[in-house]
Amino acid sequence: MTARWVVLLAASGCAAFDPVVIREQEKLPDVYAGLEAPANPADAGVRLDWNAWFADAQLTALVDEALEHNQSLAMAVERVELARSGVTRTTGALFPRLDVGVGAGVRKYGLFTMDGAGNATTDILPNQRVPVLLGDFVLSLQTTWEADVWGRLRNQRNAAGAQLLASVEGVNFVATSLVAEVATAWFELQALDRTREVLARTETRQKEALEVLQTQRSVGRATELAVKQFEVQVLETRALQVDVAQRALATENRLNALLGRFPKPIARPKLEQFEAAGRSSVGVPAELLRHRPDVREAEHRLEAMKFDVKSAQAGFFPTINLSAGIGLQAFDPTFLARLPESLIMGLLGGLVAPLLNRSALDAQLEGAKAMQREAMYGYQRTVLEAYVEVVTTLANHVSAERMLTLKKEQQVAVTEMISTADLLYRAGKATSLEVLLAEQNAMRVELELIETWRRQRVVTVSLYKALGGGWQRQTK
């Protein structure tokens, strides 16, 4: 008869659970748009090594310091510990709980009550009535256990485990982003330093030209207008130096903040060459699912939501609880050791199943389904955005390399143009306006070269991040 009731109660909770309907994601392309697949597919799965990717000892030292002291990364690590405690808690719920209890108290019953009247005429020991002030001393062990027949607790543990894996990938994503931010700020700082050098050198050259022009004005070979034009140009260059100096200070402060410290000067080498930063094989799109920490994080969160749905479904089935206890109890602590008189014990089993007014369970299940759908769409969006980011960054990388090559060639040409204009002007075969335009073009081209180099380096950093980075943190 008992078995029959268990089956009936289980059937009462077994509502027709509709499956979670989710729009399927379009299959990832086999190759990135505009690129061919790697010649050796085995090379496609090689993770990136950020130390080799950037190949800069000072940058590597800064990145190491940021990974050690950055507050955002430390907060992400603590979220891992929080998720780990969730796994421990939900795992513990699968096993019986054992508690020890120690209690002491005293009670007095009114004489005109059933308990008081009975105690007044009852011997608690031979020839000794029940005391008016009745002590109560207890020493016991109690255990409770929920039999996880339907998998509710197991699914909660699995969901917590998936959330832990997601939080670990969250740390990896924060670390990868931190590496990229530090590298970006480093290259921006180098570019600003070189810009200041160019502006200072340009100002010196402009002042020399202005002195020559002022001398020629004194002998009637140059006009006042030409002199004023050069003076305006010198002032404009000085204004640019002030602006660049402020931008460099702000960038240096931002880099210090990423390193988790208060602002202080950061030593950096003088930028001599404008070489392009290369890149390794980018792999195939399917590698995004294994290499990008944000994609793996979204995948683990989706897995956690699936377990949450299963746990919510199990809530409709009967809950089986078992409890037991054993201990010692007496009105006088000196009698606790008297056995079996002071021995107490109990055993209880219960089965509870929802029959009516299950709106809370229905709401919990529908909420879990909605969160699973949200997680799936979030995963699909993350994969899509990751693919688009890689394709766009790859195109930017190719474009930046070409632009850098052209700007270097343009710099050579404009340097020759400056020398030619200066010789012609001194020989009286070129006007001051032509010299001024040549100086302006020279400065513009050199500044554009620096900016192009900066963009190429930043795009390389973005490509490192887009491909998933090379960070694999060992958590505690």
- Do both 166 and 245 map to the same domain? yes
Cross-strand partners of 143: 98, 324
CATH number of the domain where residue 117 is located: 2.20.200.10
- pLDDT reading at 86 higher than 70: yes
Residue 175 in 3-state DSSP? helix
- Report whether 230 contacts 213 (CB < 8 A): yes
Q: Considering 333, 352, 371, which residue would you say is the last residue of a domain?
A: 352
In a domain, 394, yes or no: yes
Tell me the mean pLDDT in the region 93-110. 92
Tell me the mean pLDDT in the region 81-101. 94
Greater confidence, 204 or 471? 204
pLDDT tens digit sequence for 122-137: 888 888 888 888 889 9
Q: Considering 336, 352, 368, which residue would you say is the last residue of a domain?
A: 352
- pLDDT reading at 470 higher than 70: no
pLDDT tens digit sequence for 161-186: 999 999 999 999 999 999 999 999 99
In a domain, 16, yes or no: no
Per-residue pLDDT, 167: 95
In a domain, 1, yes or no: no
The whole domain housing 43 covers 24-94+148-318+360-466
* Mean pLDDT score of the chain: 84
- Do both 44 and 142 map to the same domain? no
Percent of the chain, pLDDT > 90?
47
pLDDT tens digit sequence for 6-42: 444 444 444 446 666 666 666 777 677 665 544 333 3
Cross-strand partners of 328: 139, 343
- Do both 334 and 462 map to the same domain? no
Percent of the chain, pLDDT > 70?
83
Number of domains in the chain: 2
- Report whether 463 contacts 393 (CB < 8 A): yes
- Do both 396 and 327 map to the same domain? no
- Do both 382 and 260 map to the same domain? yes
Per-residue pLDDT, 473: 43
- pLDDT reading at 1 higher than 70: no
CA-to-CA dists, residue 148 to 94, 152, 305, 352, angstroms: 7, 6, 20, 13
- Do both 423 and 347 map to the same domain? no
> Which tokens go with 70?
């950055």
Q: State the residue for tokens 């085995």.
A: 42
- Do both 176 and 311 map to the same domain? yes
Q: Considering 293, 328, 352, which residue would you say is the last residue of a domain?
A: 352
CATH number of the domain where residue 80 is located: 1.20.1600.10
- Do both 133 and 199 map to the same domain? no
- Do both 200 and 341 map to the same domain? no
CA atoms within a 13 Å half-sphere pointing along the CA-CB vector of 361: 20
- Do both 63 and 178 map to the same domain? yes
Give me the DSSP letters along 336-384.
TT-TTTTEEEEEEEEEE---S--HHHHHHHHHHHHHHHHHHHHHHHHHH
pLDDT tens digit sequence for 428-446: 776 666 777 777 778 888 8
Per-residue pLDDT, 191: 94
Tell me the mean pLDDT in the region 289-294. 84
CA–CA separation, 72 and 64 (whole Å)? 15
Per-residue pLDDT, 63: 92
